[in-house]
Amino acid sequence: MSETILEIQLPNLRHNFSFLKKTINSNTKILAVVKAFGYGSDAIAIAECLANEGADYFGVAYVHEGIQLRKAGITQPILVLHPQMANLDKLIAHQLEPSMYSIRLLNAMIEAAQRANASAYPVHIKFNTGLNRLGFLPDKTEALLNTLEANKKWVNPLGVFSHLAASDDPKEASFTQSQLAKFALIEKRFRTHYPNILAHVLNTSGVVNHATFQYDMVRTGISLYGYGNAAEVDKELKPVLSLKTVVSQIHQLKGGDSLGYNRALIASKPIKTATLPLGHADGIGRIYGNGKGFVWIHGQKAPIIGNVCMDMIMVDITHIDCEEGDAVTVIGPDASAENLANAAGTISYEFITGLSQRIKRKLIH
């Protein structure tokens, strides 16, 4: 190891997919979410691997992410969760399936289908059952069905879905059940018009905690990458990402010496520090500085001290016997991204999706 590397462990990805597949019914489809560069990794490599493993669908946030997968040869259906009106023509050209979450967007999609002369273009209808982020309200179901029927030449509701707000939180179980009850009524109403519609509501935590509501498909995101939002599930999963770096330089500070920008650390006693070649431009935000975050050197925890710099962090290695050039683990199988993120008051999603594209990726097959 001579530089900062993000290893992508494809065997672990395959293990996680297999585990999730075993937790659902054999006839339930799996949509693998690969948005945000595959949760900070490599969307194409992740999608290619999961396509070979039998993923039925892929999910992305935006149209350009879906186009990237199509250009890489991914042929499975791709659901675009948050399409923008400016990109609907490109969406159709690359045979992506959009989420329809408002009447404004639906009307724009109908017009785009007309321009492309694309008959009965497949769309998924998104309902807002309580997250209050995107989606039609349940009381718009009948009006929406009438609009779809009137424009069946141009759009075909292939799927109907919603998104759970707190499926990972046992204290919010009653709220989750209210969301599921609302969706059940919507699904039943749509099914009378479209018997073969693909209904999906469960995310990763939903699969774990509310498996009876699998419907036709489940959507898995963070769990594919090794984090299950629950301790008992985390034990079964394997982290896909390992972020490793090296010690660039070691310094001996005397009591009273300062460290880094704004002299954020004033040594109260002699300490030994190591400078590492990654910083907030790589995704290690300033929130991890000043003793909140940490890395691992020779199996020992080294706190991040001082302010995180753009390209470097400094860690306290007073208690660690190491040398310049030694390997450092930021996250990996024995260094959970969840634990690191929690220490700084955030979540694993934010940490791994924030890993910069300038970090060199290495696929482990």
Active site residue 261: yes
Which entry of 35, 126, 182, 244 is annotated as an active-site residue?
Answer: 35
Q: Each residue of 201-239: b (16+ CB within 10 Å) or e?
A: bbbbbbbbbbeebbbbbbbbbbbbbbbbbbeebbebbbb
Which entry of 152, 188, 261, 301 is annotated as an active-site residue?
Answer: 261
Positive/negative CA dihedral, 46, 100, 150, 87: negative
Q: Are 161 and 201 in contact (CB under 8 A)?
A: yes
List, as one string, the DSSP characters of 126-187.
EE-SSS-SSSB-GGGHHHHHHHHHHTTTTEEEEEEEE--SSTT-GGGHHHHHHHHHHHHHHH
Of 182, 224, 231, nearest to 204 by C-alpha is 224
Q: Are 58 and 43 in contact (CB under 8 A)?
A: no
Q: Could you give the residue numbers annotated as active site? A: 35, 261
